[in-house]
């Protein structure tokens, strides 16, 4: 459950201004990323982003051990793509997940921001740790980068939920209250003159918090469950990075785009 840090904020839990802010941040992020990657090598960047995003989706839909745990591969995605394309890949992944029923649709902007942060932080931390530890210890660099990146994104999630505001009340939210149910004919006095009932049936003072978020309890639960997930994700990420570093080290230490492009098959004469 390392992806507790994102994707599972359902629709309708967060206030409208926060959802709008999430979309605004995501749009700005995409605009900046587009500006930085636009122009050269689009034909190479697009399939690469597609392949890495698909890889993350495969990871997110794969149960690793029998505890309903699934991994993100966001840090590996960040290492392969670098910061700007990571932002694009994060948005693409979230949109496809939302349309497949995984994760909220309205909160896709926030989710994209959190995943992008995870990927960019993973890339930055891995690069920094590799610079310090050298290229001979990619597993350690990847593992530490993964734990820190996931801790950061989980903290972002808790921050987002905390920003969501104070708990609403029955009176304020209009939530369903079984005590007010009436099975009498609502149209007994005619459709137009129908006054309906029970508007004054419950006092505002009786209203109890409903639908609000206990941030402290939420943070404790997320950090407790998340910490185990971070470690498991770090172990798997370290294993994958170690494996790839042995067979294709350039992919890990330079990024996928730094690898030399070969001429398309059958078109060698043009180059």
Partner 1 sequence: MDITILDTSATQGTSWLHRCAPAAKLAAFALMVVAIASSVNVLVVASIAACLLAVATSCRLPAGPLLALSAYPGVFAALFAFAAGVDALGAALIVGRAVTAALAAVVLMLTTPYPQVFAPIQRLVPPVVGDAILMTYRSLFLLVDKFASTMTAVRLRSGLNRRAPLRSASAVSRTLGGVLLYSVDLSQRTHDIMYLRGYDGRLVVSARSSDSIVRDVALVTAAAVVMGGAWLWRTRWAELNPYAWLPLASALIAVLLTLATTLLRKAAR
Cα–chain-centroid distance for residue 149?
12
- Tell me if 21 contacts partner 1 by CB under 8 A: no
- Tell me if 18 contacts partner 1 by CB under 8 A: no
CA dist., res. 115 & res. 77, Å (int): 11
Among 248, 249, 254, 258, binds partner 1 (CB under 8 A): 248
79 with 128: CB under 8 angstroms?
no
Q: Which is nearer to partner 1, 42 or 192 (CB)?
A: 42
- Tell me if 142 contacts partner 1 by CB under 8 A: no
Both structure tokens of 33: 């990323």
Contact segment (CB under 8 A) with partner 1 among 114-122, 124-132, 140-148, 196-204 equals 196-204
Distance of closest approach, residue 196 Cβ to partner 1, in angstroms: 4
Among 83, 124, 155, 218, binds partner 1 (CB under 8 A): 218
Among 161, 169, 229, 230, binds partner 1 (CB under 8 A): 161
Torsion of CA 264, 261, 121, 12, to 10 degrees: -20
Task: Give the x/- contact pattern for partner 1 in 54-73, rule: CB under 8 A.
Answer: xx-xxxxxx-xxx-x----x
Q: How far is CA 78 from CA 38, 125, 177, 198, in A?
A: 18, 10, 47, 56
- Tell me if 235 contacts partner 1 by CB under 8 A: yes
Among 173, 207, 227, 228, binds partner 1 (CB under 8 A): 173
Both structure tokens of 99: 């349309």
Closest CA to 2 of 153, 171, 126, 107: 153
Distance of closest approach, residue 128 Cβ to partner 1, in angstroms: 22
Task: Give the x/- contact pattern for partner 1 in 97-116, rule: CB under 8 A.
Answer: -xxxxxxxxx----------
Q: What angle do CA 32, 53, 246 make, to 5 degrees?
A: 110
- Tell me if 162 contacts partner 1 by CB under 8 A: no
Closest CA to 3 of 95, 94, 82: 94
Distance of closest approach, residue 190 Cβ to partner 1, in angstroms: 15
Q: Which is nearer to partner 1, 121 or 238 (CB)?
A: 238
- Tell me if 120 contacts partner 1 by CB under 8 A: no
3-state helix, strand, coil in the chain (%, to 5): 65, 0, 35
Distance of closest approach, residue 152 Cβ to partner 1, in angstroms: 19
Both structure tokens of 22: 């999430």
- Tell me if 89 contacts partner 1 by CB under 8 A: yes
């Amino acid at each position: 459950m390392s992806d507790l840090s994102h994707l599972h904020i359902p629709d309708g839990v967060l206030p409208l201004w926060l959802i709008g802010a999430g979309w605004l941040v995501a749009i700005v992020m995409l605009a900046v990323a587009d500006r930085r990657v636009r122009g050269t090598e689009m034909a190479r960047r697009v399939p690469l982003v597609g392949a890495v995003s698909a890889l993350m989706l495969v990871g997110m839909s794969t149960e690793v051990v029998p505890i309903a745990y699934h991994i993100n591969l966001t840090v590996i995605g960040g290492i392969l793509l670098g910061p700007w394309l990571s932002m694009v890949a994060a948005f693409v992944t979230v949109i496809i997940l939302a349309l497949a029923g995984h994760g909220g649709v309205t909160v896709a902007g926030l989710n994209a921001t959190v995943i992008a942060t995870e990927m960019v932080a993973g890339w930055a931390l891995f690069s920094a740790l590799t610079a310090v530890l050298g290229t001979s210890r990619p597993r350690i660099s990847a593992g530490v980068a993964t734990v820190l990146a996931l801790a950061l994104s989980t903290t972002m999630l808790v921050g987002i939920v905390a920003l969501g505001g104070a708990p609403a009340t029955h009176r304020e939210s209009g939530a369903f209250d079984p005590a007010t149910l009436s099975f009498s004919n609502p149209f007994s006095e005619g459709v137009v003159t129908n006054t309906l009932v029970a508007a004054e049936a419950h006092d505002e003072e009786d209203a109890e918090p409903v639908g609000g978020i206990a941030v402290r309890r939420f943070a404790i639960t997320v950090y407790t469950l998340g910490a185990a997930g971070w470690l498991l994700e770090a172990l798997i990420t370290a294993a994958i990075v170690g494996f790839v570093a042995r067979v294709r080290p350039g992919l890990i230490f330079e990024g996928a785009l730094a690898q030399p492009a070969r001429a398309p098959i059958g078109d060698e004469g043009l180059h």
